[in-house]
Amino acid sequence: MLWLFQSIFGTDALARGRYPDELIHGAIERAVDGTDPRLRALRGYEKRLRRAVIHAIDHVVSLVEQLPPPAEISRQRYGTDPELCAFFASVEHMQEVFGTDLALSDFLAGPEGPVSDAIVALLVMEKQERHVLGMDLEGEILRRDVPQVTVNFTGHRLLDPTSTEEETRRLLKRRAFDHLLSLALRRIVSARLQRAGLEQQRTLLRRKLKVLEDGRWGFQDAGRGERPDVGDLEAQLAAIEAQFLGLGTDAGTLKAHLDTLIDVLSRAEEGLWSTRLSLIVDRLGVKRERHAAGTLQLDLEELHNVAGRTIIVRLVRMARTALAPRRDFLREAKRYLG
């Protein structure tokens, strides 16, 4: 069964193309569990998947390792760090983001949280651009109704907070691999099933995809704002898997599913990739063509997938002591209600 927190990618550094057999085997089994566990009924499924899985591992290792070192997050750096000024509207906004983030809250409540001096995580955001009419100064002339493009960042959330950069990068490799599996599962679900009697399989696959997305699988933001019950999600996955196994095996359907999985993993760089984007903006978030007094240079890492999704990602590091006290919403509600 695909346990949501099963560990792949060991804590040791991985050399591209040189992976222990246990890692490759674990990745193959995770790929099968993440799509259709009945693929194990096909003779030689491991051999057929091996090359595609190694290619996908190569890709996700490269994808994560090329992320720049973490940006330091603190009240003191806000105002002097161009990224922080662009990502957050104010110091208060920055502290609100981290003070209400569920992943960070779960980490701080876990065994490492109370003893961790520093926290490393991936900050994920949406970049929004709007065409507006604003004012601009040309020489000494103030012009009105000037077409402008403003840039702001929304939907801030943290992924895989840990106490070390190494561990966060390891978890992100697993997350990137899982994201590829989610793309493969989505393709399997959306494939036109022409043969009679396959609608039940399609329904189960759809249910499985929804459960995995509710568990914050990959980089999807489904369920943002709600804390998933991992035990309940894993129980649902176990029930779906049992129903799958009860359907029996159709060699033709399973071969099609395996072919889809191999195709997605063999072309991992076409399913999930990153690009660098350089922007110049002023303090109001208006895009500028060249540097001038009061402008900021932003070098952004954009993560894209084949489904057309694009997010901005940035590794961040913060001292635990620099976090604002976390709000107790239940206590505040009781005080408000008397």
Q: What is the chain's length? A: 338
pLDDT at 198: 58
Other Cβ atoms less than 10 A from the Cβ of 325: the count is: 7
**Could you tell me which residues come within 8 angstroms of residue 122 by beta carbon, excluding any fewer than 6 positions away?**
67, 158, 159, 160, 168, 172, 313, 314, 315, 316
Token pair of 123, please? 């900050």
Mean pLDDT to the nearest integer, 94-106: 90
- Whether the CB-CB separation of 273 and 259 falls below 8 Å is answered with no
Comparing CA positions, the residue from 26, 22, 21, 61 lying closest to residue 269 is 61
Comparing 78-82, 111-115, 280-284, 326-330, the range with the smallest average pLDDT is 326-330
Phi-psi sector, 291: left (phi>0), alpha (psi -120 to 50), beta: beta
The burial of 256, by beta-carbon neighbours within 10 Å (0-12 exposed, 13-18 middle, 19 or more buried), is given as middle
Q: Give the domain ranges of the chain.
A: 1-122+162-272+318-324
Comparing 50-59, 130-139, 236-245, 276-285, the range with the smallest average pLDDT is 236-245
The residue type at 222 = A
The residue type at 98 = F
| pLDDT above 80 (res 124) | yes
The Cα 288–Cα 149 span in angstroms is: 9
Other Cβ atoms less than 10 A from the Cβ of 71: the count is: 16
Other Cβ atoms less than 10 A from the Cβ of 284: the count is: 11
Q: Parallel, antiparallel, or unpaired: how do β-strands 272-282 and 295-305 relate? A: antiparallel
pTM of structure = 0.81
pLDDT at 55: 96
304 φ/ψ angles, rounded to the nearest 5 degrees: -120, 150
pLDDT at 18: 74
Mean pLDDT to the nearest integer, 139-160: 86
How far is the CA of 74 from the CAs of 2, 284, 318, in angstroms? Answer: 38, 21, 7
Higher pLDDT, 311 or 150: 311
Comparing CA positions, the residue from 160, 187, 170 lying closest to residue 267 is 187
Question: Tens of pLDDT along 246-262?
Answer: 666 678 888 999 999 99
The Cα 304–Cα 270 span in angstroms is: 9
- Indicate the angle between helix axes 251-266 and 165-190, nearest 10 degrees: 140
Comparing 124-128, 132-136, 273-277, 296-300, the range with the smallest average pLDDT is 132-136
Q: Concatenate the DSSP letters of all residues of 11-52 into one string.
A: SS--BTTB--HHHHHHHHHHHHHHS-GGGGGSTTHHHHHHHH
Mean pLDDT to the nearest integer, 326-336: 50
pLDDT at 205: 72
The Cα 234–Cα 211 span in angstroms is: 9
Mean pLDDT to the nearest integer, 175-200: 76
Residue 36 host element (H or E): none
pLDDT at 230: 59
Comparing CA positions, the residue from 159, 175, 208 lying closest to residue 56 is 175
**Could you tell me which residues come within 8 angstroms of residue 167 by beta carbon, excluding any fewer than 6 positions away?**
11, 120
Token pair of 177, please? 């691999």
Ranges of beta strands (E only) in 74-166 are: 118-138, 141-162
The pLDDT confidence band at residue 1, using thresholds 50, 70 and 90, is: very low
Token pair of 38, please? 């009945």
Higher pLDDT, 6 or 321: 321
The pLDDT confidence band at residue 287, using thresholds 50, 70 and 90, is: confident
pLDDT at 5: 42
